[in-house]
Structure formats: structure tokens, C-alpha cells
Amino acid sequence: MPSSPPDSSGSPPHSAMPSHEGDPSSSQTRRGDAMSDALNDPSQTSPAAASVAWRTNALLLLATIASVFATWMMHEAPTRSGLLHALAYTGALMAILLAHEFGHYIAARIHRVDASLPYFIPLPFISPFGTMGAVIRMRSVIPTRRALLDIGAAGPLAGLALAIPLYAWGVAHSQLVAMDGSDGDMMQLGNSLLLRLLDGWFGPPIPDGMDVLLSPVAFAGWVGMFVTMINLLPVGQLDGGHVAFSLFGPSQNRIAQWVHRSMLVFFFVSLASFVARDARAGIGLWHIGRHVNNSLFWLVWFEVLPILGTLSAPRGGTPDGLGIRTRAFATLGLALLAGVLRDQTSVVVWGAWFVGLAVLITMEVRWGALRASSTLMDHPATGAQRLLRGRSVVAILTLAFFALLFMPTPIAL
């Protein structure tokens, strides 16, 4: 996803990364970025620095390919069949991610916005997919809403142009497995309206007691659609935030606040639905740890988005009283504890966990993103000229894909 440079408006980002707002004339680099300030100013970039930058992109791409391949091989024997499956998954997923990132890159070049090549992010062992996607750095201001829409929408649409047919082909070549109760530790993938349609059109009929074990290509297509769903969240400077701001203008900032808060609500709604189902079955709170973990995605992203907003704030500014370290420590701590306590049934233990969550939410209310005055979810201002009808339709259709891709529980164990 694209990452923009600062502008002077003071408005404060798959794959998923923010951009940074401030003064475009200051040629500031994003906090935490290993690249030098010279990379933000093409006039100050020497040939040697440009070569290093290009090599960095290439090395990260190769590292991500290796990471994705190794992640698949962690779950399959090193046989000829296993190697072919890993190659199919790696090739399909990297094609989707490359299409997404170069959709942004090409659109930026068309609108004469200075953009870097994509920086892919390998994440072996930690990510179940082997990568966190990629980020493209925009080194000049996006001048108009038209350009903002084209750059923001080009990535998700290009990625989906590959992810959808790859998933359709892959699910048609997937196999059925018996649900015999021995797969309790397997990863259950979330479903969406679009996935249900594709399963119905291309997937095999599923008899009672059976389920579909996705082929490597189908799994890569699922990952591509999952990453696109995240990027299309209409918040901040995610792709969906770019598209929504191009359509709605400054009123999008208020919408983004409510979208952000809805993630916290959805965490509790998802958890409550699991607990209510168990209560009707007479199980009580026996699986509370599993249900917390299955709902945790929305809580984590509720905290990740303010972190991205802080990264994109003007250098030297103080977006709120929490900051990156406090949020990262609290979120990582709660997530790790939830994972460790997954099979713990003690009411006291989980009561303590929810007390910790309550403390974090209280801090967000008093000093953080839940304040009415918070600007962490805001998008930087761009040209005031509204989109023409044709591009408005494109923006609406792009945002509609978020609804089609929405997964209430993306991953469950």
C-alpha cells in the first residue's frame, strides 16, 4: 500500500502501512524508516544511493520469496509433492502482492507522484503467510482527489484481478476431507460474501461431515483477499482511507473515527456470540480462551491503526498521550497472554486479562484514540475538487469490495 509524505495541513496510514503528514517542502523521512532523508528528495539522491535503494528492494523481495516458501514447507514434508505445493503457493501469493504494489506504483507514476519501488516485508515463523505484504513510499504530495483515488484503488483492484481467478481455480482443484474431530488444531479460514459466491460457483459440493482443504493456489488467493480486506478499511491512510477521502473529502475523518471504534465493538460482539453459542450448548465458559483468541484480530487492529496514525503524524508533533511504545507493549502483551492462556478455563485468570484490557481502553479514552479530539484516524488534506461521476462510481465499487471481502472471524483455531 502507498505511503505518502507530509503535507502542511496538520492533518495526520497489505501487505498495511501508513504515510506521514507535515510540510512537503521539508523533505522529511518517515519515522522508523531505515532509508536516509536523501531518498525523499530525488534531487539529493546520488547514483550510489539510488543503486543501494534498488538493491534493498530486490533483497527484500528475494527474502520475502524465501520466507513465503519456507513458511509453507514448515507444514509439509520435504517431498517432491510438498516442494511443488510450496512453489505453487509462493508463486501465486507473490504474483498477487506484486500486482497490488505495482498497481499503486504505476498509478503514482501516471500522476507524476514520486514513488519508490515496493519494499516487501518478510516475516517467517511469526506470520502464517510468511510475509506482511509490502509498502511503497510516496515521496511527494498527492495533489488531487482524482490522483488519490487512482493511486489508492489501483493496488486493491489489481491484486483482486489475480486473487479472485486464482482462488476460483484453486478451490476447484481442492480436495474434500472428513471432519472426524481430529482437526481441532487446524487453522479455520474465515468466510465472506465473495468467498461464498466463489465456493458455490467453482468449489466441489460438500457432503455432510466433510470440508474443503484448500489447495496451495486457493490458499494464496484467500490470503490475497484477506490482505485486500485489511487494506480497504476506510481509515487513515490505508488504501480504503485514500479511496474514501477522495470520495467524501474531510467528512471522511469523522467516518474513520467510527470505523475505528467499531473494531473494538466487533471484538466484543464476536466474543459474545461465541460465548452465547456455548451457553446454549451447556458448555459455559469452558472455551473462553479459544473464543478470545478467535476474536483477537479486531482488538489488535483497533490498536495497530493508532500506531500507524502516530507514525504518520508530523515530526515533532504529539498526536496523543500514549504513543507507539505504550500501545505496542500493551497490545503485544495482551495478545501473547491470550495465546499462552488459550486452554486456560480459570475465571480468575481471564478476569485478570480483561482487567488489563479495561486499563488499555481507559487510557485510550482519556489520552488516546477514543478522545473526541483525536486526529490519529485523519487523512491528510488534498485537492478540494470533487471526483467526476465516473471516478465516483469507481470509488464506490472499490469500497463495496470491502463489504464483499469482510470476514467476521478471519482466522480461527
Mean pLDDT, consecutive 10-residue segments, the chain of 413 residues? 46 34 33 32 44 81 97 91 96 98 96 93 90 88 94 97 98 88 69 96 90 95 97 95 96 96 95 92 88 94 93 68 91 94 90 96 95 91 90 97 95 83
Query: Would you state the pLDDT for residue 18?
Result: 34
What is the per-residue pLDDT for 282? 86
Identify the pLDDT of residue 243.
97
Q: 175-178 and 188-189 as β-strands: parallel, antiparallel, unpaired?
A: unpaired
Q: What pLDDT score does 365 carry?
A: 95
Amino acid 140: pLDDT? 84
pTM of the model: 0.85
Would you state the pLDDT for residue 36?
32
The residues pairing with 189 across neighbouring beta strands, listed in sequence order, are 411
Task: Collect all residues with Cβ–Cβ distance below 8 Å to 123 and sequence separation of at least 6.
Answer: 67, 129, 130, 131, 132
